[in-house]
Amino acid sequence: MTTVPESETLLLARRDLSEQGYRSRRIDPVEQSSSMMTSKQHERVTTGFGSEYDIRNTEEGFGTCGWILVIISHILCALTFPFSLCMTVKVVQEYERAVIMRLGRILPGGAKGPGLFFVLPCVDSIIKVDLRTITFDVPPQEILTRDSVTVSVDAVVYFRIFNPIISVTNVENARYSTQLLAATTLRNILGTKSLQEILCDRENISHSMQVHLDEGTDPWGVKVERVEIKDVRLPVNMQRSMAAEAEAAREARAKIIAAEGEQKASRSLKEAGDVINESPIALQLRYLQTLTHISAEKNSTIVLPIPVELLKLMKTRSEMHVTNDL
């Protein structure tokens, strides 16, 4: 049995402890990314950016001067009652919400409405936000496609405001900003498409625009519900070129179809000639049938039938003369 010196035992123990400490300090990349995402989400909620109401520093209060002004406003309302009701009573419709700011700060509780509520004169300011779906036309945009063709495209966008607080605090004019973003998105997306894709794949292009716009307007409290491409206008020379190309393609197909018909007719005539050659009486029947059609359609035409036997006799005599000459 071998004995290990005490110094070596202490070194091994210290090495094990250091490795354990190093392993405990190591963080898996997945866990690190998840922890970073959690911290970002927590920061987003605590700071208010992207949260439901996005109110910053509303819990600090109005201060001494602010409360003095609020109390004075209450006193004025009481002294001028009931005339003050004309300024303090507000009505919000079912499709609207009211964002009330008291001394520049949004009141706790979010947007008010629908219905009847009271505001304080001189210290409260009210902003009404329409929650209905709003429609606007994107002006025609001159776009250079991926295959270097200039087209003019316009679209229509349907959107609504889902968070009145964010639409007031995060952007100056939500509708105007959405219109500008829609025009820019239309140019950016169609600039990566070819002319054939723009003309044939409008549904996917509209869906892609809707997704991009919805992501861009979400911090503004705006929900883009639908995007549709209305019209694609081509230059006049491009329209003429495409029309000439389509006409040439149609003429080529027509000639091919006519040639195939002639080929089938020739084969049918050859088969008919073979059948008539095998049966001489068939030629006589065809001859009589033709006379019947002529007499039925054109009564003013005089037809002098020549017997087929006479034609055969003349053919036989000509052959005999040729033989005698030889």
Q: What is the DSSP string of 248-309?
A: HHHHHHHHHHHHHHHHHHHHHHHHHHHHHHH-HHHHHHHHHHHHHHHHHH-TT-------HH
Closest CA to 97 of 278, 274, 221, 272: 221
Strand partners, 319: none
Number of Cβ within a 10 Å radius of residue 88? 16
pTM, two decimal places:
0.57
Task: Tell me what pLDDT residue 62 has.
Answer: 67
For residue 203, pLDDT over 80 is answered with yes
Q: Residue 134 and residue 158: Cα distance in Å, rounded?
A: 6
Residue 107 DSSP label: P
The DSSP element (H or E) to which 159 belongs, if any, is strand 150-161
Burial class (CB in 10 A: 0-12, 13-18, 19+), 170: middle
Burial class (CB in 10 A: 0-12, 13-18, 19+), 166: buried
Closest CA to 156 of 190, 118, 186: 186
Q: Residue 53 and residue 51: Cα distance in Å, rounded?
A: 6
From the centroid of its chain, how far is CA 27?
43
Task: Tell me what pLDDT residue 28 has.
Answer: 43
Q: What is the overall mean pLDDT for the chain? A: 76
Range 57-66 average pLDDT: 62
C-alpha count within 13 angstroms, C-beta hemisphere, residue 86: 3
Closest CA to 152 of 161, 167, 139, 169: 139
Confidence category of residue 47, pLDDT binned at 50, 70, 90: very low
Tens digits of per-residue pLDDT, 209-244?
999 999 999 999 999 999 998 888 887 777 787 788
For residue 12, pLDDT over 60 is answered with no
DSSP output for 189-237: HHTTS-HHHHHH-HHHHHHHHHHHHHHHHGGGTEEEEEEEEEEEEPPHH
Task: Tell me what pLDDT residue 25 has.
Answer: 40
Any residues with CB less than 8 A from the CB of 219 and at least 6 apart, and which? 49, 50, 166, 170
Q: Are 62 and 70 in contact (CB under 8 A)?
A: yes
Strand partners, 115: 92
Closest CA to 101 of 78, 74, 119, 75: 119
Task: Tell me what pLDDT residue 240 has.
Answer: 80
Confidence category of residue 247, pLDDT binned at 50, 70, 90: confident
Task: Tell me what pLDDT residue 277 has.
Answer: 74
For residue 6, pLDDT over 60 is answered with no
Any residues with CB less than 8 A from the CB of 222 and at least 6 apart, and which? 159, 160, 161, 162, 167, 174, 178
